[in-house]
Amino acid sequence: MDNLGISGSGSACLEVAIKMLAIAQYESSGEVGSLSHTKLGTCMAWVFCWASMNSGLGPTSMTSFRLYIVRHGETDWNRTRRIQGQKDVPLNETGIAQAALVAQALKEVTFTKAYTSDLQRASKTAEVILQYHPSVIAEKDKALREVYMGELEGEPGNSMKPAPSKETTEALMRRWQSWYSRSVVGYMLSKVKKGTAGGGTGGPECILVVSHGGLISNMVRVLVASGVVLPARGVVVGRCLNTGVSIIDYSESIQGRNKGIYLNGTLAKYSDVTHLARTNVVEENVDERVCDRAIP
């Protein structure tokens, strides 16, 4: 776990938590939202215990961060309800237009950091958004790819074809958790330690992430079910639509006798598509639905 900036007991915490998360999700028959909050909350508490055990940070004032998580624009396979997985399917004409609309909606946000899946439907969406933010270059990361669907990729969304090589729940969660610990939690804590946190304008520091429906849905549902991120009043984790914008606000707090730094998250929005006025939007993401099936 050295690549996460985690060592010693913190690494052990993460290893145990990931295994417990996979077992808990398997027992829930693939529906992350139905997990026991007590069981999953305990697991995720272990995942994030390294923040206080390994940061070596002293008391500090509260600092806010804002994470914008955007799903890519539409592709022809979205439109025809074919399972994409990690096939590198490009945006179609509608998807490019959707990317332009979400870019317009986010043009006043001051992004300081950006991450994207390396698959072109996501990286192109990020590229269009960042046209309004020329000083920010999106970091492409394979960890943000859609769930690998194996033999199901290219099949109709209702296909029941066996897919023995499909990415397991444990592998999926390990993948995004590794990225999240390194690029989100690790980055935020490093900024706090250096005393450079914040957007520099009195508002929160804003980070852009562009990824895929299956991964976004799994990540947000697990974070919410764990209690690491709490939904704001009226926010429901439903379908993750093309160019849907989800926002997680983070504040830091000092807890425990060791005065460890903790990041408290609030899900302010989930898959908001008001920029599209819901015009001709594909309402079902077959990758997300297939991802939610129980994986032995």
Q: Which residues are annotated as a binding site for substrate?
A: 71-78, 121
Distance (Å, rounded) from C-alpha 207 to C-alpha 4?
A: 19
Among the listed residues 95, 111, 66, 70, the one whose alpha carbon sits nearest the alpha carbon of residue 209: 70
Distance of alpha carbon 251 from alpha carbon 62, whole angstroms: 6
Kindly give, in sequence order, each residue whose CB lies less than 8 Å from that of residue 196, ignoring residues fewer than 6 positions away: none
Which residues are documented as binding site?
71-78, 121
Residue of 15, 31, 37, 72 marked catalytic:
72
d(CA 23, CA 107): 41
Q: Which tokens is 241 given?
A: 């639509």
Closest CA to 116 of 76, 167, 69: 69
Active site residue 37: no
The catalytic position among 15, 93, 146, 167 is: 146
Which residues, at least 6 apart from 140, have a Cβ–Cβ distance to it below 8 Å?
116, 117, 118, 123
In which element (H, E) is residue 78 found? helix 76-79
Annotation says 146 is catalytic:
yes
Q: What is the DSSP letter of 288?
A: H
Active site members: 72, 146
